Structure 1
Amino acid sequence: MAEFIIKMPDVGEGVAEAELVEWHVKIGDIVREDAILAAVMTDKATVEIPSPVEGTISWLGAEIGDTVAVGSPIVKIDVSGEVAVEAGGADTPTPNPSPQGGGELSVGPVAAEAPSAPAPSKAETATAKTESPSPLWGGARGGGNTLSASANASAHRPEGERPLASPAVRLRAKEAGIDLRRVHGSGPAGRITHDDLDQFFARGPQQSAPAGKQPDMSVEEIKVVGLRRKIAEKMARSKQRIPHITYVEEVNVDALEDLRARLNAEKRADRPRLTILPFLMRAMVKTIAEQPQINALYDDDAGIIHRHGGVHIGIAAQTPSGLVVPVVRHAEARDLWDCAVEVNRLADAAKSGTATREELSGSTITITSLGAMGGVATTPVINYPEVAIIGVNKIMVRPVWDGAQFVPAKMMNLSSSFDHRVIDGWDAAVFIQRIKALLETPALIFVE
């Protein structure tokens, strides 16, 4: 039996390290050649690491969230043979980036050929290396774990000690009303498995939770990794470096909603259904032509404002993995329906995790909208290094004074933030007031 060592591969483009965001294997797993072992994330892409050999996982060299240098050992596999070998590092061919990768905030689900499992803790890894395999270490759920009655009797843990278990096991125990401190763990370092729960249930109702409501003393630790870490870093940088000024104005969208409903009712088969976003995008394009300083990126390190002629509008989109910002490029060259087509295409790509790096970078101004959950007002965070972000709040019917009486009207707030180093409060107000005028008289949007 020989040991095959896999090192962090060189993922290209001058990247010297990568963040481990997902393990697809655990110690003891038998893997086939080309099975996916892990996924790592750089600023540019998410990359899958395959196994070049068939064997048994004997060691994992990092935990999820760790930053690993290129060339560092990350996996050891026991294989048939007599000589230890290595793979990975700078001389190893670069793995193909995941098709879901791309952009500063891009990440998506990655396919796995080996079963997904939580990464073991350092304590578990040490246990697996120093102790011989135990009959209590079960395989797949439903396997032949054997637990002695004495072990079960001593399973109750002291107050404050948190039992080791995966999120799936914790959820199953919570739904069944089981205190995991009463369950013996047969896995590495005492980790509780699904088999342990099955054994606990099989012992009968005498082990059930006490009647009545019980205090929940659990504390779940969630490591910030992958896309969530990228979002956190970018938001922190935006708030730390940009002095925000937020301006909120209400807009009467009665006329706009009437026009939108008419256009949707009469639309051709080759035209998409219109939301409010394409109208807002066209209004922004017209207003930016009058105030080009809004469509800019501020390099505060160099002290240079890059004012762009092309209007590249980022559309903040919530995905299962987190917030990403796909970009509608050259909105100034698109009509209403072309804007709608591109917004729909990019939204689908972002949600499915197939958006490319180019589609997730390069915006010069951003729109953020929570749709029906948009609230009355928000304080959006600028997408660094841009100098403005336009926030759309939900449409609500409110009483509005028309000079003689209160009448019902469809009202929507725009909550927008600006970089006060570059945009004065007066310029921000002029910008939003011009957009308001265009949205309240939508025919002006179509006047060239």
Structure 2
Amino acid sequence: MAEFAIKLPDVGEGVAQAEVVTWRVDVGDLLEEDEPFAEVMTDKATVELPSPVSGTVLRLGAKVGDFVAVGAPLLWVDLATESASDPRPALPGAPPVTEAASVTDAPPVTDAAAATPPADVASRIPAGDRRALAAPAVRKRARDLGIDLAAVRGTGPDGRVLHADLDAQLVAAQGGRHPRAPSRPADGVERTRLTGLRRNIARRMQEAHQIPHFTYVEAVEVDALEALRARLNASGDGRPHLTLLPFLVRAVTLALADRPELNARYDAASETLERFNDVHLGIATQTPHGLMVPVLRNAQDGDLWSHAAEIARLAESATRGTITLSELTGSTITITSLGALGGVVSTPVINAPEVAIIGVNRISDELRLVDGRPQNRSVMNLSSSFDHRIVDGAVAAQFIAHIKELLQTPALLFIGR
């Protein structure tokens, strides 16, 4: 046996440790060189780790949710394995691993009745072929159940066999009775350990809570802006569709030219304020994985359409889970918006170590007095929070007032620098 330890590589500048969020392999699986074997989270990004070697997985060095230091062993493999195309059974006596899953597949059946295949399954399904496309965890479970993957119709991408496909095979063999029986805690309380992005969000929010926030709310009439946006989107020139965000990006960058102290990051430990010439604008984005803040770099450059295209690209990458660590770090000020669900007023939490965040609430129709006469207006509130250690109330008010002026008179957006 030629045992080899695969260690956690340097996955980002300044990163000392990472959390294991997904194992793609289990003990006994055959791992090919460059095949992803785990996903780890560092700071705000999830990083996929490819194997530097081929071999059989001997043991895992951590459970899901554990933190591993850079340079520490993640798993051990037997290099004596010639090829992962020749399946071999799990090594006898290997330590059990309680948390292992495929990143794209549903969780495996855990009910005891499903862990052992019915006799008619083993008799009706030939065993031995492992050439079907499937994740290592699915392959191992199929071996344990005595199911030939080649006999299973995969419903995943490119015909990949999923855990749900194995479930369907078992259901068919048991006459339509699903083997998975939901378990309920005796005390009626379901307890889930926070891991991955959700735990990261919880910790960052706890840290941000220590900042002395103050929130400033201002109403903005956006009738002229919405008319301009509709006109530009109706041009039919094939350019990206414009939402409100690109206009707000332009307004924020112009207002920051007069208030550069808000385009900053504060290090409380060293009591140092860093001001930035370039605006790296965080765009808070809700994803199926949790809240992420992709960064629109050099937001002071470009035009409305280039901003729209980049914001859409970043949002799609964040939603699909393919966004990189560099695309999630380095923001200097943040915009947060829930679109049509944005409510009337909110109290955004500062994306530390930044000192300001601009919150966008939904647009609603309001009856307002214009020259003494009631008129219907489209109104949107900006609910923005500031670090009161750095930003005085007057400075915040002047900054938001400048943004309001730019949005209410959108021609000014194209006159500035």
Could you state the TM-score of these two structures normalised by the residue count of structure 1? 0.66
Match for 1:285: what amino acid? T
Answer whether contact 1:252 1:411 (CA < 8 A) is retained: yes
**Closer, same or farther: CA 53–220 of 1 in aligned 2, 3 Å:** farther
Residue type at the aligned position of 1:231: I
Does structure 1 residue 226 correspond to structure 2 residue 227? no
1:251 alignment partner AA: V
SS state of the match for residue 209, structure 2?
helix
Task: Label 1:294 to 1:141 Cα distance change in 2 as closer, same or farther (>3 A).
Answer: farther
- 1:432 deviates by 1.1
The two structures, once aligned, show a CA RMSD in angstroms of: 4.0
Q: Is the 8 A contact 1:284 1:435 kept in 2?
A: yes
Q: Deviations over 1:354-398 (max 9, x none)?
A: 333332222111110111111111111111111100000111112
Q: Is the 8 A contact 2:109 2:115 kept in 1?
A: no
Answering whether residue 389 of structure 2 is matched by residue 388 of structure 1, we say no
Q: Quote the Cα distance in structure 1 between the aligned partners of 2:36 and 2:254.
A: 49
Task: Choose from 338, 355, 358 the match for 1:370.
Answer: 338
**Aligned to 1:255, which of 224, 232, 239?**
224
Aligned-partner residue type, residue 375 of structure 1: G
The reply on whether 1:246 has 2:215 as its aligned counterpart is yes
Say whether residues 1:416 and 2:351 are aligned partners.
no
Give the deviation of 1:263 after TM superposition: 1.4
Q: Distance in 1 between matches of 2:382 and 2:119?
A: 52
Deviation of 1:340 (Å): 2.1
State the match for 1:152 in structure 2. none
**Aligned residue in 1 for 2:313:** 345
Question: Partner residue of 1:287?
Answer: 255
228-237 vs 255-264, which moves further: 228-237
| Conserved? CA contact 2:285–2:293, under 8 Å | yes
Identity of aligned residues (%): 46
Residue deviations 1:169-211 (CA, integer Å, cap 9, x gap): xxxxxxxxxxxxxxxxxxxxxxxx969x95998699xxx99xx
Tell me what 1:332 maps to.
300
Q: 1:21 corresponds to which residue?
A: 21
* Unaligned 5+ runs, structure 1: 82-108, 121-133, 146-192
Q: Does 1:397 align with 2:375?
A: no
- 2:360 is paired with a residue whose SS is strand
Query: How many residues are matched?
Result: 348
User: The residue matched to 1:280 in structure 2 has which SS?
Assistant: helix
Distance 1:140 1:404, change over 3 A: farther
Cα distance in structure 2, aligned partners of 1:302 and 1:311: 23
Pair 1:316-2:284 in alignment: yes
Cα drift, residue 14 of structure 1: 7.1
Partner Cα separation in structure 1 for residue 389 and residue 400 of structure 2: 18
Q: Is 1:407 aligned to 2:375, yes or no?
A: yes
Q: Distance in 1 between matches of 2:252 and 2:119?
A: 56
> Per the alignment, do residues 298 and 138 of structure 1 end up closer, same or farther by CA in structure 2, a change over 3 Å counting?
same
In 2, the alpha carbon distance for the partners of 1:290 and 1:68 equals: 44
The 5 Å alignment of 1:4-403 reads 4=3, 6-11=5-10, 17-26=17-26, 30-34=29-33, 36-43=36-43, 46-48=47-49, 50=51, 52-55=53-56, 59-69=59-69, 74-75=74-75, 137-138=115-116, 143-144=121-122, 218-240=188-210, 242-266=211-235, 268-269=237-238, 271-403=239-371
Structure 2: tracts of 5 or more residues without a match: 82-100, 124-165
Looking at structure 2, the residues matched to 67 and 379 of structure 1 have their Cα atoms a distance apart, in angstroms, of 32
Q: For the Cα contact (< 8 Å) 2:22–2:102, is it kept in 1?
A: no
Q: Aligned partners of 2:258 and 2:48: how far apart in 1?
A: 43
How far apart in 1 are the matches of 2:62 and 2:78?
18
Instruction: Name the CA distance, whole Å, in 2 between partners of 1:60 and 1:248.
Output: 51
Closer, same or farther: CA 18–359 of 1 in aligned 2, 3 Å: closer
Corresponding position of 1:89: none
Residue type at the aligned position of 2:286: Q
Distance 2:70 2:175 in 1: 48
Q: Cα deviations across residues 36-70 of structure 1 (Å, max 9, x unaligned)?
A: 44323334761425384554x66544321011345
Contact (CA 8 Å) 1:7, 1:71: kept in 2 or not? no
Instruction: Measure, in 1, the Cα distance between the counterparts of 2:113 and 2:414.
Output: 75
- d(CA) in 2 for partners of 1:33, 1:220: 38
Alpha-carbon shift at residue 302 of structure 1 (Å): 1.5
The CA distance in 2 between the partners of 1:348 and 1:239, in whole Å, is 29
Specify whether residues 262 and 72 from structure 1 end up closer, same or farther in structure 2 by C-alpha distance, changes over 3 A only.
closer
Q: Which amino acid aligns with 1:265?
A: A
Normalised by the length of structure 2, the TM-score is 0.71
- The AA in structure 2 aligned to 1:288 is L
Quickly say closer, same or farther: Cα 1:137–1:342, change in 2 above 3 A.
Answer: closer
Partner of 1:409, secondary structure, is strand
Give the Å deviation of 1:417. 0.3
How far 1:331 sits from its partner (Å)? 2.0
Letter in 2 for 1:261: A
Larger CA deviation: 308-317 vs 36-45: 36-45
Give me the whole-angstrom Cα distance separating, in 1, the residues matched to 2:197 and 2:118. 30
CA distance in 2, matches of 1:50, 1:8: 10
Distance 1:444 1:111, change over 3 A: same
Report how far residue 318 of structure 1 moved: 1.7
